[in-house]
Every structure is written in C-alpha cells, then in structure tokens.
Amino acid sequence: MEKINGFLLIDKPEKITSTDVLNKLKKKFKFKKIGHTGTLDPFASGLLVIAVNKATKFVEYLQKEKKGYQALIELGKISFSYDIDTPIMYVHNYEVPKEKEVKTILKKFLGKQLQYPPELSAKRIKGKRAYDIFRKERKFPILNPKEVEVYDLVLLSYNFPYLSIYTLVSGGTYIRALARDIGNTLKVGGILRKLRRVSIGNLNISQAISLEKVLSLSSSDLEKYIIPIDKALFFESYFLPQKDVKLFLNGNKVICNSSVDGIFKVYSKENKQFLGIGEIKKGILYPRKVIG
C-alpha cells in the first residue's frame, strides 16, 4: 500500500480510541506510514482524519485548522476530567439557569480567550503527558493557560440539565474545558456528556465513512475513498515554472513573481503536479514541505 498517499476520512464510533483506529487500519492494509490530524477521546465520535504514507508529512497543517463540534453538556455535575470518563459528582444548592441566561453566557465565550487545558489530558509537561503524571504521582499537574479562539457558538437546544451546542473553534481548543467553563460561569458546574466532531478545515463529516465499512474494503476499493493531499489542504495555489521544480523539490528557495506573501500549495505549471507547501516572502518562495 505504499502507492496510496492522501487522507482517509473516518467517522469514528464511540468507545474506541483514535490509536485503536490507526492500529486496525494498519493491520488490515499494511500501510508504511499512518497517522491522524487530531485525536478524539474514546467516548467521542465523528471526523477522524487519517493520513496515509506521504500525507503524514502534511498533518501539521490540518492540525492548525478550525474544528467544528456538536456537544452535549450536562449541567449540575462535575468530574475530574470534565467529561464522563471519571467519577461524576453532583453539585447542590444552585438555581436552574433560564434559557435567556444561557444564551447570554454563551455569547461571552465567543472570540479569543485563555483556556486552562484539562489536567487529565495528553498535554505535555517537560516531555510527560499530563494524564501520566496524575496516574504515576497521584496529583494534578499545573498547566498554563493557552490562547484559543471560539469562532461560533450556537445553542441547539436547552432542557435542563442538558445543553446542546454547536461550536467552531481553533486547533488545540478543549471542548470539555469549554463545558467546564460554561458550567462554572452559570454557577451550576458542567460536564461533557457527548461529543461529535463534524469538521476540520474544509473537510466535513458528510465525506467520512464508518470504520466498519473501511475495514470491509479491499485495498483497491480503498483508493476510491482517499482524498489527495492537496485537496485536503486549505491554501491558495501557486504554479511554478518547470525550470524551478527541481530546485523547490530539493529544498532550495526560488525567486517568484508573486507580490502576495503567505502559505501556498505549490504545483508544477507544466503538468499541474502537486509539489508541496511553500511560503512566499517578499518575492521569494521557500519550501516548507515537499512531496518527496
């Protein structure tokens, strides 16, 4: 399966880890390289973007893309992980928030903000995962807040204690931390009961197929579901003259005729072949990732 390069969109089921999905795919199809563009917690479902072979070099670009989620928050409860994966505790003596108050509070979470990651998360502290520190040392690690951005936050339904939302957030945003913060701001506490990822950049859950279906496919049938590397990346295109293609592929900077700076998908002008990702600065194209 070394000839297949691109992204496979899986609709991950609940009660399975993202690593389990990778292992099942690798065992079935014998990929040389495989990875994903962002993990989903075991209890969560939805869009898991799998990078196959040469596509693994371009994972970082999708990791930085905006991500869309549908989430169900249960108010009046708290847990150490801010979701249902650790023992749940009840909050007492609170007033049930009215829908008008909920809508007002949700608006306050729009935009850039500092978010404290969950103490039980894969966040690294001096090379160690936060959850590993807790398991081995039986104490919560101290995590620094990180700037995240909430681009959209829509109330889908509210029937206390259940609060259903859609949110579009920057890469690195923890939705269970968002559930925690919403619950705390409403002064009732809150945990993430369900989570479904519906988009990453311009990739949507409607394009994904179930893990069960993927595992039933032959290697030749699988190719029909592979999205080419360049089609998954959300950058403008730049076409390079043939005389400069080899320079670019060898990692050398190229003088170009563009007056616009930024990150681009780079193609051969002659045959429209995707070459990689480049960055243009002041009329010079710098290779950032080449297809190899």
Q: For residues 92 and 189, is the Cβ–Cβ distance under 8 A?
A: no
Q: What is the CATH number of domain 6-64+202-231?
A: 3.30.2350.10
Identity at 177, one-letter amino acid code: A
Q: For residues 121 and 216, is the Cβ–Cβ distance under 8 A?
A: no
Provide the token pair at 113.
Answer: 């903000």
**To 5 degrees, how large is the angle CA 162–CA 165–CA 167?**
155
Q: Pick from 241, 233, 231, 223: which is nearest to 264 by CA?
A: 233
Give residue 131's pLDDT: 56
d(CA 51, CA 59): 7
Query: Where are the chain's structural domains?
Result: 6-64+202-231, 67-195, 235-290
What are the backbone dihedrals phi and psi of residue 50, each rounded to the nearest 5 degrees, phi first? -100, 125
Average of pLDDT values for 199-209?
A: 96
Q: For residues 25 and 67, is the Cβ–Cβ distance under 8 A?
A: no
Residue-wise pLDDT tens digits, 142-167: 678 999 999 999 999 999 999 999 99
Q: What is the CATH number of domain 67-195?
A: 3.30.2350.10
Q: For residues 94 and 187, is the Cβ–Cβ distance under 8 A?
A: yes
Give residue 120's pLDDT: 60
Average of pLDDT values for 208-228?
A: 95
Give percent of the chain with pLDDT exceeding 70.
Answer: 91
Burial 231-247 (b: 16+ CB within 10 A, else e): ebbeeeebebeeebbee
Which residues belong to the active site?
A: 41
| Helix (H), strand (E), coil (C) string for 73-105 | EEECEEECCCECCCCEEECCCCCCCCHHHHHHH
Mean pLDDT, the chain, whole residue set: 91
Would the CATH topology of 6-64+202-231 be identical to that of 67-195? yes
Give residue 292's pLDDT: 76
Give residue 80's pLDDT: 86
Residue-wise pLDDT tens digits, 81-130: 899 988 899 999 999 999 999 999 999 999 999 998 886 656 555 555 55
d(CA 150, CA 173): 8
3-state class of 152 per DSSP?
Answer: strand
d(CA 196, CA 12): 9
For 235-290, CATH number out of 2.30.130.10, 3.40.50.300, 3.30.450.40, 3.40.50.2020 equals 2.30.130.10
Q: pLDDT category, 69, cuts 50, 70, 90?
A: very high
Q: pLDDT category, 225, cuts 50, 70, 90?
A: very high
Q: For residues 123 and 39, is the Cβ–Cβ distance under 8 A?
A: no
Q: For residues 45 and 71, is the Cβ–Cβ distance under 8 A?
A: no
Residue 47 predicted with pLDDT over 60: yes
Q: For residues 83 and 119, is the Cβ–Cβ distance under 8 A?
A: no
d(CA 190, CA 74): 6
Average of pLDDT values for 17-28?
A: 94
Beta bridge partners of 168: 68, 152
Identity at 3, one-letter amino acid code: K
Residue-wise pLDDT tens digits, 134-147: 565 455 566 789 99
Give residue 118's pLDDT: 85
Placement of tokens 């889908």 in the chain: 156
| Beta strand segments in 121-200, E | 124-125, 128-129, 146-159, 162-169, 190-200
Residue-wise pLDDT tens digits, 2-12: 678 999 999 99
Residue 46 predicted with pLDDT over 70: yes
